[in-house]
Amino acid sequence: MLKRKKEENSVVIPNREQIEAEMARLDYSGRYHSALRSTIYSLIVVAAVAVLLATLFIPFLRIYGTSMTPTLENGEVVACWKTTKFDSGESSRFTLIIRYW
């Protein structure tokens, strides 16, 4: 018959310095996660506002056709500003701001 050794169930009690170090680590971890979360939320809000403003106020349009040649070529992308004020001879509701490629 085999003899079994007694298992020792010893509990290690940490000292004060170890407890304080662990509390400091947990506190830092909590502050880090809080700062990271708030930064990510801020970036999401800024991106959403930028997309909303670009969609509502400054649309990007691709030119199709050659009716605007030589001013605008077929396939160019332009950023426009929506306007409600037209001058004589204008038939567009957009004013060209930036011409891309």
- pLDDT, tens digit, for every residue of 42-86? 999 999 998 888 778 777 778 888 777 777 778 888 777 766 666
Token pair for 11 = 């509990």
Confidence of residue 36 (pLDDT cuts 50, 70, 90): very high
Query: In whole angstroms, what is the distance from residue 60 CA to residue 80 CA?
Result: 6
Q: What is the pLDDT of residue 69?
A: 74
Q: What is the pLDDT of residues 1-16, one digit of tens each?
A: 555 555 567 788 999 9
The residue written with tokens 């800024």 in the block is 46
Highest mean pLDDT among 26-35, 52-61, 76-85, 92-101: 26-35
Of the listed ranges 21-30, 31-40, 81-90, the one predicted with least confidence: 81-90
Instruction: Provide the 3-class DSSP secondary structure of residue 36.
Output: helix
β-bridge partners, 78:
61, 99
Contact predicate 69/77, CB 8 Å? no
